[in-house]
Amino acid sequence: METHHIAASTVRALAMDMVTTANSGHPGMPLGAADFATVLWTKLLKHDPTAPQWPDRDRFVLSAGHGSALLYALLHLSGYDLPMEELRRFRQWGSRTPGHPEYGHTVGVETTTGPLGQGFANAVGMALAERWLSERFGTELVDHRTYVVVGDGCLMEGVSSEAGSIAGHLGLGKLIALYDDNHITIDGATEVAFTEDVLARFEAFGWQVLATNGHDEELIEAAIEQAIADTTRPSLIAMRTTIGKGSDLEHSPKCHGSPFSPDAVKVIKSRMGMLPDATFTATAEAYAAFRGEEGPQAHAAWQARLDAHPRKEEFLALLAGDQLAEGVSWPEFAAGSQIATRKSSEAALKAIVRAHPEVLGGSADLAGSNGTALGVPFLSADGFDGARMIPFGVREHGMGAVANGMILHGGVRPFVATFMVFHDYMRPAVRMAALMGLGVVYVYTHDSFLLGEDGPTHQPVETLLAMRSIPGLRVIRPAEATETVEAWRQALARRDGPTALVLSRQNLPTLEDGALAASLSRGGYVVDEGTDVVLIATGSEVSLARSARALLAERGLSARVVSMPCRELFAEQDASYRAQVLPAGVPRVSVEAGLTLGWERWIGQDGLAIGVDHFGASAPDAVLAEHFGFTPEAVAARVATHLGR
């Protein structure tokens, strides 16, 4: 058998062995995509399995993450630290071969994929980061491509259109999408639900669009070479393939997510000219096909260029990205001054951008309102060098997923912004950032019904609860300007997960003692002392609670006010600190302009939760505060009644 056939057949055999042994998985896609994946990995992909984090490697993303067995076979055969024993343990507890590829869990996996379309958008972010770094440091240090395998499902998901439009607009010429065009989804042939002209759509986005036989080695290589040659546009190559190729279920949705029987696997192996009874095996020739010297040699040459480069230390510092909270001339605010936290956030972000060139991002067409219009150029197809603002447009989901890809690439630290209520549009990408532990910073403004006249469609009464329900997402709702600056400091210092900054539209009074805000790092702290009741508040409600405290004092009640900008950080503190802030035996009241659900943990079953368990309305903020009981008088009255006073 000729080399390509041996290599591709081995990929197919290993993928089938994994799925059949686990009796779980998706065999159809690996059988169909094995030919074009093998051509890429044996002939064109620039990588070094002995140095999987080499900065100038090509990125490979399997957006169609259900085909994970394909990727694991490729990684094993190429020499990554993924031994055959791990392939045998596919989808089992503790294995390095989970059901869908997981970043940080399996060597060589560039991003966690599975939710269709997310990996495609991540790849756009990787290509964006590559171009920004390449224009800053030159192709001597940064000159690689991003390849992404997408299926019909990925291209049906709206996030792929959002991200594809961004990529075409910016001319990301080193992005190449390999479209596994097999015309099959779980429910049947794609014509049941998907009859648009996909290639015309991507042409309209500004992509180079190619089409070829996804099982012909020479045509595949020629198409990828043509894509590589066009550096002004991203490329989509429609690889016409047969799902379940070689099986009796070719062209059938039945092989999408159902394992083949052991006997069926033997038949397929025989058709490929392989030993039917051999499982989890590969010949020396198969290994040799995947383990050429080109990648390690390219890595060695790059290392020599890096060592001789005059900006080596600057480049490595950007890749490390661990000094972002340092060297910033943080803004200061006078005690008692009135400023919206979105505005104090803007001042902090401008200071960060001045100090750290690798911080870049953008807003979903709301930069002026979000406080992210930084007075620096937008990235454009004509050039990235010196630009720091990304023109995401009204594409929240794509924006979030592109940011994930940027930080996965390395060398840049992204922030993204929108109105808080539109978190729902980007939630899947936020969830993936939390799952992967990525330090993306989200700027969410207009954080409650107090934004006023825009009405209930824009008033996020339930969104805080929704964000706090995502494991690993740190949600910070600062009370005023000094807390906002500290929130940015904490967000930049964090490396193990994303942070959401939740900011007000309306002005809020700055604390008299600005040093108190440093306690934000502990999630909650005492602003005013008191012994009869504890008022726990976040964001704009901290100043409200302080005003209510003064009215309670007139009734002879001593209220402690606690600012709890980040419940996640407070939960991480030791029990003794939490007891100092929230002393046992003292009644507790939460005050927050959102749903009350979730406050039980901090106020107890006998506590009082003052919130908004309904949608908002269109009216000036002062009118809404009066009607919804968010005035000092109303809060004080409810607290006094709760205490029987």
Give me the residue label for tokens 């930080």: 407
Query: Are 491 and 416 spatial neighbours (Cβ–Cβ below 8 Å)?
Result: no
In whole angstroms, what is the distance from residue 322 CA to residue 312 CA? Answer: 16
* Structural tokens at position 143: 């000159």
* Structural tokens at position 346: 């803007």
pTM higher than the cut 0.95: yes
pLDDT for residue 257 is more than 60: yes
In whole angstroms, what is the distance from residue 180 CA to residue 191 CA? Answer: 16
Position 385 scores a pLDDT of: 81
Average pLDDT score over residue span 578-585: 97
Burial class (CB in 10 A: 0-12, 13-18, 19+), 543: buried
Structural domains in the chain, sorted by start: 3-297 (3.40.50.970), 338-509 (3.40.50.970), 523-642 (3.40.50.920)
Position 386 scores a pLDDT of: 82
Position 205 scores a pLDDT of: 98
* Structural tokens at position 160: 């792929």
Backbone angles phi, psi at 563, to 5 degrees: -90, 125
Angle at 225 between CA 220 and CA 229, to 5 degrees: 150
Average pLDDT score over residue span 484-499: 96
The per-residue b/e assignment along 341-366, b for 16 or more CB within 10 angstroms, e otherwise, is bbbbbbbbbbbbbebbebbbbbbbbb
Query: Catalytic one among 86, 102, 221, 396?
Result: 396
DSSP string, 57-121: SPEEEESSGGGHHHHHHHHHHHT-S--HHHHHTTTSTT-S--SS--TTTSTT--S---STTHHHH
Nearest partner of 122 among 60, 48, 182, judged by Cα: 60
Give me the residue label for tokens 């075409």: 168
In whole angstroms, what is the distance from residue 443 CA to residue 374 CA? Answer: 14
Query: Are 552 and 460 spatial neighbours (Cβ–Cβ below 8 Å)?
Result: no
Query: Are 536 and 560 spatial neighbours (Cβ–Cβ below 8 Å)?
Result: no
Q: What percent of the chain has pLDDT above 90?
A: 96
Report pLDDT digits (tens) over 541-570. 999 999 999 999 999 999 999 999 999 999
Burial class (CB in 10 A: 0-12, 13-18, 19+), 584: exposed
Average pLDDT score over residue span 428-440: 98
Give me the residue label for tokens 């990648």: 295
pLDDT for residue 612 is more than 60: yes
How many angstroms separate the Cα of 339 from the Cα of each of 95, 335, 500?
52, 11, 20
Backbone angles phi, psi at 475, to 5 degrees: -105, 120
* Nearest-10 Cα torsion for 520, 522, 524, 526: -90
Position 624 scores a pLDDT of: 97
Query: Are 175 and 243 spatial neighbours (Cβ–Cβ below 8 Å)?
Result: no
pLDDT for residue 581 is more than 60: yes
The rounded Cα 536 to chain-centroid distance in angstroms is 31
Average pLDDT score over residue span 81-86: 98
Average pLDDT score over residue span 219-239: 98
Residues sharing a CB contact under 8 Å with residue 247, sequence separation 6 or more, in sequence order: 27, 28, 31, 255, 260, 264, 267, 268
* Structural tokens at position 524: 């909650």
Please give the span between the terminal C-alpha atoms of the chain, in angstroms, as a whole number: 90
pLDDT for residue 445 is more than 60: yes
Q: Which amino acid is at 412?
A: V
pLDDT for residue 322 is more than 90: no
Is 196 one of the catalytic residues? Answer: no
Position 526 scores a pLDDT of: 97
In whole angstroms, what is the distance from residue 49 CA to residue 77 CA? Answer: 10
| pLDDT tier, 1 (very low <50, low <70, confident <90, very high otherwise) | low
How many residues can be counted in the chain?
A: 645
Average pLDDT score over residue span 118-147: 98
Position 376 scores a pLDDT of: 87
Residues sharing a CB contact under 8 Å with residue 288, sequence separation 6 or more, in sequence order: none
Query: Are 610 and 590 spatial neighbours (Cβ–Cβ below 8 Å)?
Result: yes
Report pLDDT digits (tens) over 395-407. 999 999 999 999 9
Backbone angles phi, psi at 588, to 5 degrees: -125, 145
| pLDDT tier, 370 (very low <50, low <70, confident <90, very high otherwise) | very high
Backbone angles phi, psi at 637, to 5 degrees: -65, -40
CB neighbours of residue 622 within 10 Å? 13
Query: Are 128 and 402 spatial neighbours (Cβ–Cβ below 8 Å)?
Result: yes
Sheet of 359-363: strand order equals 359-363, 413-419, 441-445, 499-502, 474-476
DSSP string, 475-531: EE--SSHHHHHHHHHHHHH--SS-EEEE--SSEEEPPS-GGGGGGGGGS-EEEE--S
Report pLDDT digits (tens) over 18-77. 999 999 999 999 999 999 999 999 999 999 999 999 999 999 999 999 999 999 999 999
Q: Which amino acid is at 503?
A: L
Position 513 scores a pLDDT of: 86
Burial class (CB in 10 A: 0-12, 13-18, 19+), 331: middle
In whole angstroms, what is the distance from residue 535 CA to residue 282 CA? Answer: 66
Nearest partner of 323 among 134, 492, 541, judged by Cα: 492
Average pLDDT score over residue span 615-635: 97
pLDDT for residue 577 is more than 70: yes
Query: Residue 140 has what DSSP assignment?
Result: T
Per the DSSP assignment, residues forming a β-bridge with 500 are: 442, 475
* Nearest-10 Cα torsion for 94, 97, 101, 104: 50
Position 324 scores a pLDDT of: 80
Query: Residue 537 has what DSSP assignment?
Result: E
Backbone angles phi, psi at 608, to 5 degrees: -115, 125
* Nearest-10 Cα torsion for 283, 66, 126, 378: 160
In whole angstroms, what is the distance from residue 502 CA to residue 111 CA? Answer: 27
Angle at 154 between CA 152 and CA 157, to 5 degrees: 110
In whole angstroms, what is the distance from residue 237 CA to residue 245 CA? Answer: 19
Q: Which amino acid is at 73?
A: A
Q: Which amino acid is at 362?
A: G
